[in-house]
Amino acid sequence: MKILKSISLSLIIVFLGTSGFSQIKATKKADAAYNTGEYHKAIELYEKAFEKLNEKEDKAYVSFQLGECNRKMMNTKGARKWFAKAVRYKYKNPLAVLYLANALKTQQKYEEAKIKYEKYLKLVPSDYRGQNGVISCENALDWINNPAPYIVEEAEDLNSKADDFCPSYGQSKSEVYYTSNRESASGKEASGITGQKFSDIFIAKKDRKGKWSVPVPVLGSVNTPGSEGAAVITNDGATMYYSFCKQLEGANSGCKIYTSRKTSDGWSEGQVVEIVGDSSVSIGHPAISQDGLTLYFVSDSIPGMKSIGGKDIWFVQKPSANGKWSLPVNAGSKINTKGDENFPYVNQNGNLYFSSDGHPGLGGLDIFKAEKKDNSWVVTNMKPPINSPANDFGITFYEDSEQGYFSSSRGRSIDLFSFRKPPLIFVVKGTVVNSSTDQPLADAKVTLSQQNGKQIDIMSASDGSFVFNLDGGIDFYVVAEKEKFLRQRVSESTKGLVVSKTFILKLDLGAMKDKFELPNIEYDLGDTTLRPESMVSLDKLVEILEVNSNITIELMSNTDFRGGDSYNQKLSLGRANSVVSYLISKGIKADRLTATGNGEKKPRTVDRKIFKKYSFLKVGDILTEEYINNLETEEQKEVAHQLNRRTEFRVLKDDYGLNTIKFGGGQ
């Protein structure tokens, strides 16, 4: 039988006891205390023995045992100290290196921890714990810098100077049950296992103003001078399942799950839930499904059943409220690891939450979420701020919301913390501007269309600005339009976003009388075939034509002055036709498109945008062949030639299919 700790900590790290035997005569009493799970007592005895030892091998053994005692009591500072000594004294068991790495990780010494994990992997290449440790150290900083969208606060109204942990809501959801070994707990003796009082189950109730009452032990016969805890209440509020570990003359005789019924006088005396026939098997940490027909629990081994390793999560089921529990079933390798899995909890959606030091995490125990997809569990780390480098465990949710409580050793002791996910807020803030002048356009009509069918129209303000509130989990687009300007549409999405976001948009509207250059339209030298990089710009033109379905356009290709006139004329027309062919292939009707080859006949006129980029050119200058030849450097001349090589379009009509209205002298 694997032995359990005192309930006040065994409810936190249950079944951590390890069978062993006296390695050296000087540690006989310490080994006996260790093997019965009395870690607090064992520490005192091992430390006294350590001072008397001279042989490095003996010191290595005692250092490792002290590290183990501290590890199982979640004293990471002590664990780091003694495992480091064990490694320095060359303790033969490679676990000393692994546990030292774990202790370093819980103290956020990620670089040092990674080095130790890599050392462990050289000693035991096949052990996933070393591999997960390296992954954890690599992920930790990213998780810390990109936390989950929860707000976490210490539950000061519920905590004490002692340990408070394992919260669970009652039926009314305005009452919370949890475990504590504070002064008002009924047990008076200190445990030789932990040096702390035994724990009781406490309850606190919330008043109309949302303030918790002073926590008190639950009424009835559940609490005893021994230790109880890790309680969970069924959905109807009538039944409590909880862990209880008996202490007999300082030794831990094992944990069991008990059940109690709510009566007019409080909770009835607990009765053992018959899950495993072997009385030597310890089980604890109950979690009950919403329908009360599936009970999850934790055990390190069940006779005749295959475990994954360490402490595993198991479950039993029954066909009806009055039925009998089935044989235990291991929750499987997606949930369980060779490490320890603890404190299962099932929310209203059937998601399983649990704590583990076997999956990649930030430090000691991390809280994980498991969702059933395609009949298999998908496990994800809850990340900061829920998880921390310390031990985080025992989460509970308020109904089906994203708020509740969990326990953590990140503070001065083990405390309760509240968490909540603020509602996601999505906003569009934008500006409508004239694309030629970059000046704001007032009184433009701006339309928000969402995938769910919602549509809102507003007018841009005097500074061209507009604001919309968005729904989550949908695609949307914004269209801006103004008379004698081309409409523009921008598409975005709030799907998959887990944090609030403000979308900043700028909608550039071009006046229909203007010419518009298509940037990055590229061809091979002397060729009319479009290069692949041209497609991005042309796809934007496709969208313009789709949004402005009432217009027809002229596409104009221009060359520089190098080459003969007739050659340039033919080349430019071929290139314009290539653009037209591409647009037709994308579904634009041919009678909306006119191709024109200008050759070298229409040199570029410098505007403000060009001047801002190339200060050696002046606004209003025309880039004729003579002008270019008079520029100072070859580099300047090449810039001017490049500006002349362009593909442009202009609007011919804005009533496609109806009466013709011409702009800018077009056809």
DSSP state of 594: E
Q: In Å, how far from its chain's centre is CA 403?
A: 16
The answer as to whether 478 is a domain residue is yes
Residue 181's identity, in one-letter code, is N
Q: 491 and 614, same structural domain?
A: no
Residue 109 lies inside a defined structural domain of this protein: yes
Question: Can you tell me the distance from the alpha carbon of 227 to that of 244, in angstroms, rounded to the nearest whole number?
Answer: 6
In this structure, the answer to whether residues 492 and 521 fall within a common structural domain is: no
Residue 476 — pLDDT band, cuts 50, 70, 90? very high
Stretch 38-44: mean pLDDT: 91
pLDDT, tens digit (0-9, with 9 covering 90-100), for 65-83: 999 999 988 888 999 999 9
Same domain, 525 and 505: no
Q: Which tokens is 229 given?
A: 């805890």
Sequence-separated (6 or more) residues with CB below 8 Å from residue 84: 100
| Average pLDDT, integer, range 527-554 | 91
Residues 505 and 527 in one domain: no
Structure tokens at 127: 């052990």
Q: Which of 366, 364, 338, 337 is nearest to 353 (CA)?
A: 366
Measured between alpha carbons, how far is 309 from 311 in angstroms, rounded to an integer?
A: 6
Verify that 504 and 521 share a domain, yes or no.
no
**In the Cβ-directed half-sphere of 343, how many Cα atoms lie within 13 Å?**
31
Identify whether the C-beta of residue 67 lies closer than 8 Å to the C-beta of residue 79: yes
Partners of residue 312 on adjacent β-strands: 299
Please spell the DSSP secondary structure of 16-62, one letter per residue. Answer: -------SSGGGHHHHHHHHTT-HHHHHHHHHHHHHH---HHHHHHH
Exposed/middle/buried for residue 551 (C-beta within 10 Å: 0-12, 13-18, 19+): buried
Per-residue pLDDT tens digits for 608-648: 889 999 999 999 999 999 999 999 999 999 999 989 989 99
Contacts of 116 (CB under 8 A, 6+ apart): 97, 98, 100, 101, 104, 133
State the pLDDT at residue 617: 95
Residues 18 and 118 in one domain: yes
Q: What is the pLDDT of residues 128-178, one digit of tens each?
A: 889 999 999 999 989 998 899 999 999 999 999 999 999 999 988 899 999
Q: Within this chain, do residues 488 and 528 fall inside the same structural domain, yes or no?
A: no
Distance CA 13, CA 255 (A): 12
User: Do the bridges between strand 552-558 and strand 593-599 make them parallel or antiparallel, or are there none, so unpaired?
Assistant: parallel
Angle between helices 110-123 and 128-145 (to 10 degrees): 160
Residue 448 lies inside a defined structural domain of this protein: yes
Specify the pLDDT at position 362. 93
CA dist 554 and 237 (Å) reads: 75
Rounded Cα distance, 97 and 86, in Å: 8
Supply 317's token pair.
């089921």
Residues 419-438, mean pLDDT to the nearest whole number? 94
How many whole angstroms separate alpha carbon 79 and alpha carbon 59? 15
Q: Are 418 and 155 in contact (CB under 8 A)?
A: yes
Residue 5: per-residue pLDDT: 37
In a domain, 566, yes or no: yes
> Which of 466, 486, 509 is a domain's end point?
509
DSSP helix/strand/coil, 11: coil
Is 43 domain-assigned? Answer: yes
Residue with tokens 């005893």: 224
Please count the structural domains in the chain: 3
C-alpha–C-alpha distance, residues 56 and 68, integer Å: 18
Say what the pLDDT of residue 247 is.
60
Summarize the confidence of residues 441-465 as an average pLDDT.
96
Q: Is residue 126 part of a domain?
A: yes
CA distance from start to end of the chain:
94
Pairing of strands 341-346, 329-330: unpaired
Instruction: Encode 78-103: b = buried (16+ Cβ within 10 Å), e = exposed.
Output: bbbbbbbbbbebebeebbbbbbbbbb
Asked if residue 666 has pLDDT above 50, the reply is no
Please report, for residues 209, 286, 529, the alpha-carbon distance to residue 533 in angstroms, rounded to integers and kept in the order given.
63, 61, 12
Region 636-663: mean pLDDT is 82
- CB-count exposure of residue 590 (10 Å: 0-12, 13-18, 19+): exposed
Name residue, tokens 């006088």.
Answer: 265
Of 145, 171, 198, the position where a domain reaches its end is 145
Does 157 map to a domain? no
CB 572 within 8 A of CB 532: no
pLDDT band at 663 (very low <50, low <70, confident <90, very high): very low
Residue 46 sits in the same domain as residue 135: yes
Q: Could you report the per-residue pLDDT of 490-512, keeping only the tens digit for each?
A: 999 999 888 899 999 999 999 99
% of the chain exceeding 90 in pLDDT: 71
- Regarding whether 130 and 62 lie in a shared domain, the answer is yes
Helix or strand holding residue 628 (H, E) = helix 625-629
**Number of CB atoms found within 10 A of residue 443's CB:** 12
* Residue ending a domain, choose from 113, 145, 177: 145
Pairing between β-strand 426-434 and β-strand 501-509 as defined by DSSP bridges: parallel
Average pLDDT, the chain: 89
Check residue 631 and report its DSSP letter. Answer: S
460 and 567 both lie in a single domain: no
Confidence of residue 22 (pLDDT cuts 50, 70, 90): very low
Q: Residues 644, 536: one domain?
A: yes
Lowest mean pLDDT across 1-5, 306-310, 620-624: 1-5
- For 557, what's the count of Cα atoms within 13 Å in the CB-facing half-sphere? 25
Contact 179, 200 (CB under 8 A): yes
Same-domain check for residues 130 and 64: yes
* CATH number assigned to the domain comprising residue 24: 1.25.40.10
Q: Which domain holds residue 480?
A: 426-509
DSSP classification of residue 172: T
Whether residue 52 lies inside any domain: the answer is yes
What mean pLDDT do residues 563-568 have?
90
* 325: confidence class by pLDDT, cuts 50, 70, 90: very high
Residue 122: exposed, middle, or buried by beta-carbon count in 10 A (0-12, 13-18, 19+)? exposed
